[in-house]
Chain A
Amino acid sequence: MAEQRMGFFTDTTVCIGCKACEVACKEWNDVPDDGFVFRATSYDNTGSLGASTWRHVAFVEQDGRWLMMSDVCKHCTHAACLDVCPTGALFRTEFDTVVVQPDVCNGCGYCVPACPYGVIDRREDDGRAWKCTLCYDRLRGGMEPACAKACPTKSIQFGPLDELRERAQERVERLHAEGMTDARLYGESPDNGVGGTGAFFLLMDEPETYGLPPDPVVTTRDLPAMWRWAGGAALALAAGVAVCFAGRKP
């Protein structure tokens, strides 16, 4: 467990939309076909992350520029999918990544609506939940994840999270100095609603433009309050039942 926290820094300014990451991920992880849908929006017929899509390249056509971003599981510090998994199938690895154990998952599907990024999903033919493992097997073998390895422009960078955060900060400052004031980091802050993400991004527009939530929060943050409200309702129910019997002779 002495490993460092590993993660991704995806710099969208150098993404060329080649989708090599999508292909490499599919090949290495033997991820099945996710359907062939002509979406008629942009050069994106993949659509979104899902049970059989662990990297997704978003294409946003704007006046005078074209934004491309390779999206992936965020491997949150406070991961809702992991918190709510009732079987322990989801676990945190020695690399501080979040992985599903397919031999334990019973397909309850609770992780699916829990994720504030809409990443994890259930394969309906297989019945279990699937998502990016940050190539857990490759990491254990001392290799980098397939997507980062295949990325021809180093848009996807893999490494110890501390180093990536420093590198990303320098990159943003350089872009700002060059006049690209739209550049901003997304997810890197440990103060955000998920305690910082293991996979973070350099974006050129608001997160929602890329289909990302602007201010996500781990739903279990509010769980103590939820149990208190439910406890109040349970007590009220017990009292209500007692009152219904009060003063009535059998």
Chain B
Amino acid sequence: MPKGQGEVVPEAPFRSYYGQPVVKQPIWHEPHMPTYLYLGGMSGAASAMAAVARLTGHERLELAARTAAFAGGTAGAAFLVAELGRPMRFLNMLRVFKPSSPMSVGSWTLAAQGGLTSVAMGSAVTGVLPVVGDAATLASGLSGVAMATYTAVLLADTAVPAWHEAMRELPFLFAGSALASAGAAVMLTTPRALAGPARAAAVAGAVTEVVAGEVMERRLGMLGEPYRKGRAGTLMRASRALTLGGGLLATVAGRSRTLTALSGLAITAGALCTRFGVLEAGRVSARDPKYTVVPQRDRLDAGAPAHVPGR
């Protein structure tokens, strides 16, 4: 059996009801949900960059980061509302605050992110109340890092096997992807001589994204299969190639506009592929009862059934 790329996992025997799924597939649509994941992550990491740029006096880069954060947050929110079954009821998201619901925590985070980046952008464009705009930028640095990582918990906190079991790596995969995306967006919209930190962010993010994805697929064992097979596998491989290529280019992108454009676009495309690939892998793992039944049966056979301590 060839080792290395795409290790072959022997088919585990298991029983099911006519091969039907046990759990429901996530009903989130394409392109809404994965695009939101990309935009929200990009916006969050861009906010963190804007805040640090403010503190370190990188004014031109800060403007680009503020703009990216505002654009990503606003467009992302629109995609999220369009995803609802009852879009007119989107405000019900702020009806309660529930720490047990990552969707609730995320809605409040997005509300803060959207509000703060809008104030920061408005102030930057109009020149009105610069102190308030700067304060909003600094505060959005905090909502931003939450924004870039909560989506990993959103996916992991489900019964979808390939997501739930990836709870450790998904936050780093998404944080890396967000940092790379924001680095790319800011690099594309800042004069080259002033975009050094953005290129560094693009490289660091790309490396983190690729490493976290690789670690995740390996640690998941059988549950890593959905990330390697079929359309999800194609998307994840494309993501890795684009992100690595874009990250490498970012190290030399300071030399020309063409290199900057190629690097930024490759990283952006890679980040989008990651989000679409993760959604698709989740769907596949929910659709095939194997991924639900086999790990649970193994737990029972090992004499270690699930329980809920302290609740």
A→B interface (CB under 8 Å)? 39, 41-42, 47-48, 50, 58, 60, 78, 80, 83-89, 104-110, 112-124, 126-129, 191-195, 206, 208-223, 225-227, 229-238, 240-245, 248, 250
Contacts and interface: CB of A to CB of B under 8 A. Distances in A.
Given A106-B90, A248-B197, A250-B56, A211 B95 contact: no
Contact of A114 (B28, B59, B159): B159
A216 B201 CA distance: 41
Contacts of B178: 237
5 contacts: A126-B85, A218-B308, A219-B158, A241-B45, A241-B52
A226 B52 contact: no
Nearest to B212: A233
Given A85-B98, A230-B171, A215 B93 contact: no
Contacts of B107: 86
A226 to B, nearest CB: 5
Contacts of A48: 20-21
Contacts of B48: 237-238, 241
Nearest to B25: A113
Nearest to A69: B17
B168 A221 contact: no
B201 A241 contact: yes
A225 B23 CA distance: 22
A153 to B, nearest CB: 22
A3 B27 CA distance: 35
A87 B96 contact: yes
Interface string B168-208: 10111011001100010000000000101110110011001
B49 A241 contact: yes
Tell me which of A122, A220, A237, A238 has the highest count of chain B C-beta atoms within 10 A of its own C-beta.
A237
A58 B305 contact: no
A225 B164 CA distance: 11
Given A78-B311, A84-B157, A240-B208, A107 B86 contact: yes
Contacts of A118: 21-24, 159
Contacts of B84: 106-109, 127
Tell me which of A41, A87, A211 has the highest count of chain B C-beta atoms within 10 A of its own C-beta.
A87
Nearest to B91: A106
Tell me which of B49, B104, B208 has the highest count of chain A C-beta atoms within 10 A of its own C-beta.
B104
B121 interface: no
Contacts, number: 278
Contacts of B154: 110
B85 A122 contact: yes
B171 A208 contact: no
A3 to B, nearest CB: 21
Given A86-B103, A118-B24, A208-B15, A222 B167 contact: yes
A220 B153 CA distance: 10
B249 to A, nearest CB: 17
B57 interface: yes
Nearest to A41: B18
Given A104-B95, A233-B149, A245-B197, A113 B286 contact: yes
B100 A109 contact: no
A216 B56 CA distance: 50
B17 A210 contact: yes
Contacts of B52: 241-242, 244-245
A88 B85 contact: no
Interface stretch (B126-134, B257-265, B270-278, B296-304): B296-304
Contacts of B299: 215
Contacts of A108: 83-85, 93, 103
B175 A244 contact: no
A215 B48 CA distance: 41
Tell me which of B157, B296, B300 has the highest count of chain A C-beta atoms within 10 A of its own C-beta.
B157
Contacts of B61: 250
Contacts of B59: 250
B292 A213 contact: yes
Contacts of B194: 250
A127 B88 CA distance: 11
Contact of B289 (A112, A194, A208, A237): A208
Contacts of B157: 84, 114, 219-220, 222-223, 226
A208 B16 contact: yes
Contacts of A226: 102, 152-153, 156-157, 167, 171
B145 A112 contact: no
Contacts of B104: 86-87
B101 A86 contact: yes
B251 to A, nearest CB: 13
The 9 closest A-B pairs by CB, nearest first: A107-B85, A127-B85, A211-B17, A193-B306, A233-B171, A106-B89, A86-B104, A215-B296, A86-B103
B148 interface: yes
B26 A113 contact: yes
Nearest to A241: B48
B20 A211 contact: yes
Contacts of B93: 86-87, 106, 108
